[in-house]
Chains A and B, each alone.
Chain A
Amino acid sequence: MSSNKKYWKSVEELKGSSVVETLKQKEFAEEIPVDEFLGDEESLSNSKTSRRDFLKYVGFSTAAASLAACEGPVVKSIPYVVQPENIVPGVANYYASTIANGFDFQSVLVKTREGRPIKIENNDLAKVKAGGGARVNASVLSLYDKKRVKRPMIDGKNVSWEEFDRQVGSALNGVSGDIVLLTQTFASPSTTKLIQEFSAKYPNVKHVVYDAVSEDAALSAFESRYGRRALPNYDFSEAEAIVSIGADFLGDWQGGGYDVSYAKSRVPENGKMSRHVQFESNLSLAGAKADKRVPVKPSQQKAILVALYGYIVGGDSTSELPSNIDEAVVKAASQLREAGNKAVVVSGIPDADAQSLVLAINEALGSTIMDTDNARMTRQGNVAQVSELVQSMNSGSVGALMVVGVNPAYSLPNASEFVEGLKNVEVSVSFTMKEDETAKLCKYIAATPHYLESWGDIQFTDQQFSLMQPTIRPLFDTRQFQDCLLKWSGNSQSYSDYIKETWSGNLSGGWNQALHDGVFDGTSPVAVVASEDFTSSSNDASSLRKLSSSAQEGSEYELTLYTKVSMGDGEQANNPWLQELPDPITRTTWDNYLMISKADADKLGLENEIVSNGALNGSYVNVTVGETTVKNVPVIIQPGQAKGSVALALGYGKKEGMQKEMQVGVNAYPLYQNFSAFQNVTLAKAEGMHEFASVQMQSTLAGRDDIVKETTLSVLTTKSKHEWNSVPEVDYNHQEIPVSDEKADIWSAFDRTIGHHFNLSIDLNACTGCGACVISCHSENNVPVVGKDEVRKFRDMHWLRIDRYYSAGDTFVEEQEKLVNLGAFETYDTIEDPSYDNPQVAFQPVMCQHCNHAPCETVCPVAATSHGRQGQNQMIYNRCVGTRYCANNCPYKVRRFNWFNYAQNEEFDYHMNNDLGRMVLNPDVVVRSRGVMEKCSMCIQMTQKTILDAKREGRPVKDGEFRTACSAACDTGAIVFGDVNDKESKVSKLQGDDRTYHLLESIGTKPNVMYQAKITNTAEA
């Protein structure tokens, strides 16, 4: 069944381009860069260094190197003078803390070694998450960012904090007009209380909360319905029907973090799983996981919501939608009704009326998935107040402005007005970690610490809280905003004491327990000012009217502004791990781009071309909203993009406080007019071609279509495994036997039944492609960042990649019918083209498969890769001579070659090139040097540590103790790691699951990584 399906990784592959054919034949797209170190002929003849000189130098340096090798360096060892009692050199300590940078909110465990944080892990005690896994995992590197502001500054000159306090204090006292605090969302009860106290000291204080990526529509809708500014909380784990209209709830929609509960509802148990219908414009993570995805323009999304409201709550029972979309809406409505209170509708339409209707629909359904009592507090931004502030700045009524944790000069759609207004402000203070666009314009720059150096309390929801604690002494002369505020309001307390005092008597388990766990339940000790007798001011009928009229306002091209899982709102744009994380959908790194459908691209004459080495180029386009034009936006033609719609990611194009290498992409915030993600745009082709660093063409399928296996829920429940997930068979003595049979094996197998035998299991249904595992792997294994140019040459070093496969057809039945009825030559045109508009997507994390019969091991001339009894395919860097035969022979293309020294090399000026950035390196894993192969080690340093701990304590290892970086980072439960010789372990149970298969089983490599086939729920109600 699955074998009939056609998969492709890129459009070029689908078209059967000659480049793909060439790439298929090559393991390394690029030749060895001889020119780079020998120079080309021209430069050779021009240069003063002749070949003879060159040989002389080579001879001399060889001799010098061998002589130098005899005298090793004298290594100094400097112990503590007084060793802190909880630090043992060589043993990691874990502390619970919380990231809360205004965009990502998540309770985390911080792994520290010798007092420095080196890795972020999930806090298993946390019940709520509101951040993107990749960004949260990568945030530890932002601590060691060399572009951080190191001390307070006045007018660009370094000053001491005493001087800073004195000057700001006198400035504040003498200020005429309002003192405005323009802050990120803190979601912190103590900070709220503190600002109230500050306002008591200075009577003219105003607090404006600003989210760069606004959720104001949803907040306002919630406010008018329930009387406070918050966002409903969703728990998808019990959901049976999910209808999303433009909400990428697996991405950053309303703060994100919903992938955890969603994944639970997507793993078929007892023949049941949720059904997910997605109406959206650009292919998002949620759309990629949907059972049914309907590509529609943004304006149509509004019409769909109106229609859906009509079908479920009442009102018009007809719609003016095109019949095929209307049909989908009708089906979705009946699906929702059938699921009753296990159904939920979510929407990302940036319109308060739309959000209000969504709440109404969920109320009408009686949805238990949506929770408005325990609402989320992690977005507080108020668009009206921000706009008002910019106006009053220009009118001169603002005397002092304190900008905290936000960068309005970069991220405001009307940034130029803000910049103009700032000139009228007498006292401008920027609390910042970077000398960014805003800080550059402010008189006073208060250097603030990273969250790993700060104290804090965070209110996730009405009842769920967490604490932030420092895990390292401040690296620089920095001070928290809250500590400054305490000082300036004449309070001598430290902020940590202040938090303790705020919570004293409110913590059931006491302060130490709360700090240890990181999270706790309770109620906020700080009263939020709320109107006493609130009456719901929402009027569904008028909302409906307004929304249906705004649905008419669509234009030829409608833009959706979205955020990428890697970059988010751009707060961590100077983080090379995130820049190099391939986007889960486009597989493009180091860029943002306008995604456009094929039809529209053809109309505008835009194109994507693959150059000879497989790298992707794209046309430029100028995007205009109203008066504002963003020039030279590169274009990617994206399958699944609704016709008439385009999409562009926010968070790129930052210039200040950024390393040159990281200044990539275009700033899309000027297009974010009125903080609305939907904009009517006009497009005009611009000159030139953009060079992308995309890894999607890196390795091709080479016709092996059974890499991804998928089927439908009905097949899973009704048919035997053999029909939809059969083990490939080979001929043996004129009989067909499965390849897993011993007789099919030309190798004599080792006995692996004794001791540990590690297996990794990956559930394609639970994987949402979020990329947390990729970053976690980077951070655990010291995987280098290679930069845009190298990624373009396919020399990225990701040990773990998340392949994205497109496949044709809305449903398998349709596809099969077409396959049966059509002639061979027509298949491409007829089947593939419609699916080009709306392909199905499968995410597949691929790392070294740790084959028991590994093809790489047999070809290594120096035995640098060998097999361990515990199942690992071991790569020994110090033995490797870099022949790259192994990578050539690897059917999964998971081996990575160190073309250069990526550490301490000026050419690769990322974190491994400075002392600060190198502090993030894991001391248990070696940094590889040039000329050696590397790959996933199944985190052998982690399994070895688990074993050693057990040995030392004299006990057997319990299930769940064995983890890899990726399995630990995967909070959706897609990646499970364990010992298959422990029959009680989760992974050994998964081994016997019907959905389990191995990649390219037919070639007999017997991998130790298994996959669970993807299941879609095609049941229509």
Chain B
Amino acid sequence: MKKVKYRHSTSRLLLIVALFLSFTVTSFAQDSTDVEAGEPETAADKADASASAELGDPAAGKGLFNSLCAACHKPYSASIGPALNGATLRHDKEWLYAWIKNNAELRASGDADAEAIYQEYNGTAMPAFPQLSNEDIDNILAYVEQPKPEPAAAATGGAGAEGGEGSAGGVSVNIILGVLIFVLVMLLVVLFLVNKTLKNFAAASGVTLPEKPSRKPIWQAFVENQFLVLVFSLVVLLGVGYFAYGFLMQVGVDQGYQPIQPIHYSHRIHAGDNGIECKYCHSSARVSKTSGIPSLNVCMNCHKAISEVAPETATAEHSKEFYDGEIAKLYDAVGWDPSTRTYSGEQKPVKWVRIHNLPDFVYFNHSQHVSVAGVQCQHCHGPIQEMEVVHQEAPLTMGWCINCHRETGVQMEGNEYYEKIHEELSKKYGVEKLTIAEMGGLECAKCHY
């Protein structure tokens, strides 16, 4: 298994020093980007206000668009339905009202345009929205008719600075230490030089320095001192023992294992930024022993409509182009042609690298923990919603399992299975809430068979 190489702290220190040196500069840069990032929005707003004055309020339209339209439409590119930007140029408003409120009716009335659009998008019927007033539709149109904003290129620099700022508290101490070390080194150098100069003076002035009597070498003295030898060997033995034990105990423990996956899938974006429920994708965790790596058709539930990430998703480490490339990898694997919006039928299963590897002789069941006990995924998997690349958070050792089973109470409220057993057991142990251990959760063959 691949080991994670923790960077040595000195290299991190150097990095920090380097960052510190540019600290003042980058912090300026950050301030300026903040202003810049804010500016286009307001500028665009102003532009829209003038351009689509007759359309409506784009701010109100944004809400409506996101709740009703965004599943199938994008403002600037075709998705399940056509791109909406420019709709007002292509059709008159009355037609748009009729189409949006009930497009089936419009098509039934024999409208050629309506039928053409319907056919163009593979006969996918758009739902009727009779609840929208003309004013609502105006608002939506106002929002989508905003000109496409330019991507904010400077965002990258800002994010980089944020990293530096995060560890700024530690820097000042390090700097003081660094300065002190520098001073000490200087003192040493000065002392050495002074000593050398004095020797030169002595040689020049003919002063003979007294000879040191030859003493017993220090190692011999050490060997002769049995007490020291004893203490020393004890220390060595204990040290070796300590490290050997540490080494052996981590054999097969892969805490922190963070392999590189064939597709850079970011849990941070999905579970964190977008707040997608874990079990939406890992649905078998509810009913099965495995949590299930989602099949690619699950990805396509959303990614049929999402072919690129929003500009603000990009980070210092990974650009928008990078993420878009990863989505393209998904399309390649599942055989989806985003331009024609069709499946080619050519599928390439993705070979993910398994992160959590329990040995075969351990039986672990996700549904027992997730569905019955109601344990949060993060309890064992860590703050998955913050992980750009997932790593193994827990050590997954038996001691770790057992500890939790000892400490955690059984969640038995509202579960008829537990009614009788809880009543009897709690009486027996005289406790209100039973732990898993008390229910028999420490028995060997509950997990080993």
Contacts and interface: CB of A to CB of B under 8 A. Distances in A.
B267 to A, nearest CB: 16
Interface residues of B, number: 60
B334 interface: yes
A755 B448 contact: no
Contact of A877 (B351, B416, B421, B448): B448
B440 interface: yes
Nearest to A75: B354
A956 B417 contact: yes
Contacts of A91: 284, 287-288
A297 B262 CA distance: 74
Given A74-B2, A866-B444, A81 B354 contact: no
A75 B259 CA distance: 10
A70 B449 CA distance: 25
A53 interface: no
Would you call the interface of chain B mostly helix, strand, loop, or mixed? loop
Nearest to B440: A869
B33 interface: no
Nearest to B257: A72
B150 interface: no
Contact of A76 (B2, B288, B352, B372): B352
B21 interface: no
B295 A81 contact: yes
Would you call the interface of chain A mostly helix, strand, loop, or mixed? loop
B353 A74 contact: yes
A989 interface: no
A77 B352 CA distance: 5
A72 B297 contact: no
Given A948-B365, A956-B420, A755 B290 contact: no
A868 B418 CA distance: 18
B216 to A, nearest CB: 41
Interface string B355-375: 001011101010110011000
B446 interface: yes
Interface in A918-967: 924-927, 937, 940-941, 944, 947-948, 950-952, 954-957
B251 interface: yes
Contacts of A754: 421, 424-425, 428
Which among B289, B348, B417, B446 has the greatest number of chain A C-beta atoms within 10 A? Answer: B417
Nearest to A982: B420
Given A877-B361, A955-B417, A76 B1 contact: no
A616 B305 CA distance: 73
Interface in A36-81: 69-81
Contact of B357 (A75, A90, A874, A954): A75
A532 interface: no
B32 interface: no
A90 B444 contact: no
Contacts of A868: 440, 443-446
Contact of B251 (A70, A74, A925, A957): A70
Nearest to A756: B421
B179 interface: no
Interface string A828-870: 0000000000000000000000000000000000000010111
A236 B424 CA distance: 46
Given A69-B252, A81-B334, A76 B353 contact: yes
Given A78-B350, A874-B444, A876-B448, A954 B288 contact: no
A553 interface: no
Nearest to A76: B351
Contacts of B363: 924, 941, 944
B359 A755 contact: no
B169 interface: no
Interface of B: 1-3, 251-252, 254, 259, 283-284, 287-290, 292-298, 333-335, 347-354, 357, 359-361, 363, 365, 367-368, 371-372, 414-421, 424-425, 428, 439-440, 443-446, 448-449
The 10 closest A-B pairs by CB, nearest first: A874-B445, A90-B288, A83-B295, A72-B1, A80-B295, A75-B354, A90-B290, A878-B361, A81-B347, A79-B293
Given A868-B444, A874-B449, 20 more contacts: A69-B251, A72-B1, A74-B353, A75-B354, A76-B353, A79-B293, A79-B349, A80-B296, A81-B297, A81-B350, A751-B428, A869-B440, A879-B448, A926-B361, A940-B446, A941-B449, A948-B365, A948-B367, A955-B417, A956-B419
Interface of A: 69-83, 88-91, 751, 753-755, 866, 868-870, 872, 874-879, 924-927, 937, 940-941, 944, 947-948, 950-952, 954-957
